[in-house]
Amino acid sequence: MSLPLTRKDLMIVNMGPQHPSMHGVLRLIVTLDGEDVIDCEPILGYLHRGMEKIAENRTIIQYLPYVTRWDYLATMFTEAITVNAPEFLENIQIPQRASYIRVIMLELSRIASHLLWLGPFMADLGAQTPFFYIFRERELIYDLFEAATGMRMMHNYFRIGGVAADLPYGWIEKCLDFCDYFLRGVVEYQQLITQNPIFLERVEGVGFISGEEAVNWGLSGPMLRASGIQWDLRKVDPYESYNQFDWKVQWQKEGDSLARYLVRVGEMRESIKIIQQAVEKIPGGPYENLEVRRFKKEKNSEWNDFEYKFLGKKPSPNFELSRQELYVRVEAPKGELGIYLVGDDSLFPWRWKIRPPGFINLQILPQLVKKMKLADIMTILGSIDIIMGEVDR
């Protein structure tokens, strides 16, 4: 693969780490030939805080506040994966109501994340107005979160075996109101953006990824689904109670930035559909598993069997992780968010490997921006949807 070098005086431009369209602290070193990008080297690590190492010195309940600082746009997903890992490891069941509350929170969080993707993405393309539109809706989601969890962003809401608190009185109606309001909002976005000729000119055919390439690079989430592959972990590897709702996987086959935009906007609509169904048929009962079952170490015992062991009424703060290992994953707004957890019969995880979707998706950036124009870097980087908190961890 040899690039035709028309001119020899190449220019090396440094973008970041402090740059308004670098979505945090990504740094790109771009080699330019005129306005054509010849080479691009991403430099990471400006927000590396050692999250995986910190996890090895924290119990799960102590570590829960940290996880919302990975992906601070889709905070609920990081909490979900953090409690799912020990739950699957110790085979803890959660009550239906807790599962429904989790689904509602996760989908609200997905909308919040996609909204805060849409605004800066459009701002990168030069359209500032949608940034103000999305904050109008996003603040309402924050209000819902604040009413239920007490915090706007860093909720610390999920617990092993359920959630920290039940939904407050009247929250369900507020949530339904929001759903109706938000569907109108999405229509407004689509009228404003989707048919906009300037927007189409900037995104159509930019940053093309074929389906095969997307699989080979290990992409996930909207990046993968925009390349014609119908892979959504909520369908493929169902968790919580997603199989009880009627919704469709959003996908496009074009594989360019426009397709990624369409997938994300479609996902917001589908999320609203899921929330409406979940709110409609949310069951009563406890919001937290009051009986933790713990297996004897020699062999697995059945639920309610002789060897079935009750350890406490609630999952205790010093929840012990047995000597097993597993990989769990959820479909976060940015892709597959996974945890590889190794327990060691101790309170702390022996290893807590995070598989952040943004980090894996970012790998393809140097290939995508090559032979494109300088201004297309923002489009492509924006359409990848990264958050440096989870890329660097």
Is residue 14 exposed (0-12), middle (13-18) or buried (19+ Cβ within 10 Å)? exposed
| Number of residues near other proteins (by CB under 8 A) | 51
Select from 128-136, 191-199, 216-224, 325-333 the region that touches other proteins (CB under 8 A): 128-136
Token pair listed for 322:
């047995």
From 6, 9, 195, 284, residue interacting with other proteins (rule: CB under 8 A): 9
Choice between 98 and 368, CB closer to other proteins: 368
Q: Which of 135, 270, 127 is nearest to 192 (CA)?
A: 127
Give CA–CA dist 106/237, Å, rounded: 16
Q: Which of positions 143-202 make contact with other proteins (CB under 8 A)?
A: 152-154
Give CA–CA dist 339/78, Å, rounded: 10
Choice between 19 and 273, CB closer to other proteins: 19
Are 172 and 278 a contacting pair, CB within 8 Å? no
CB of 183 to other proteins, least distance (A): 20
Q: Which of 357, 358, 327 is nearest to 343 (CA)?
A: 327
From 135, 208, 308, 350, residue interacting with other proteins (rule: CB under 8 A): 135
Choice between 154 and 342, CB closer to other proteins: 154
Neighbours of 326 (CB within 10 A): 14
Choice between 72 and 171, CB closer to other proteins: 72
Are 252 and 263 a contacting pair, CB within 8 Å? yes
Q: According to the binding rule CB under 8 A, does residue 54 interact with other proteins?
A: yes
CA 189 vs CA 138, 142, 261, 265, 316: distances in Å: 14, 20, 11, 9, 46
CA 217 vs CA 211, 220, 362, 364, 389: distances in Å: 10, 9, 10, 7, 21
Choice between 211 and 366, CB closer to other proteins: 366
Q: Which of positions 73-112 make contact with other proteins (CB under 8 A)?
A: 73
Q: Which of positions 363-382 make contact with other proteins (CB under 8 A)?
A: 366, 370
Q: According to the binding rule CB under 8 A, does residue 317 interact with other proteins?
A: no
From 97, 102, 110, 138, residue interacting with other proteins (rule: CB under 8 A): 138
Indicate the DSSP class of residue 135. Answer: H
CB of 96 to other proteins, least distance (A): 32
Residues that bind other proteins (CB under 8 A): 1-2, 5, 8-10, 12, 17-20, 24-25, 29-31, 39-41, 43, 45-50, 53-54, 57-58, 65-66, 68-69, 72-73, 116, 131-132, 135-136, 138-139, 142, 152-154, 366, 370, 388-389
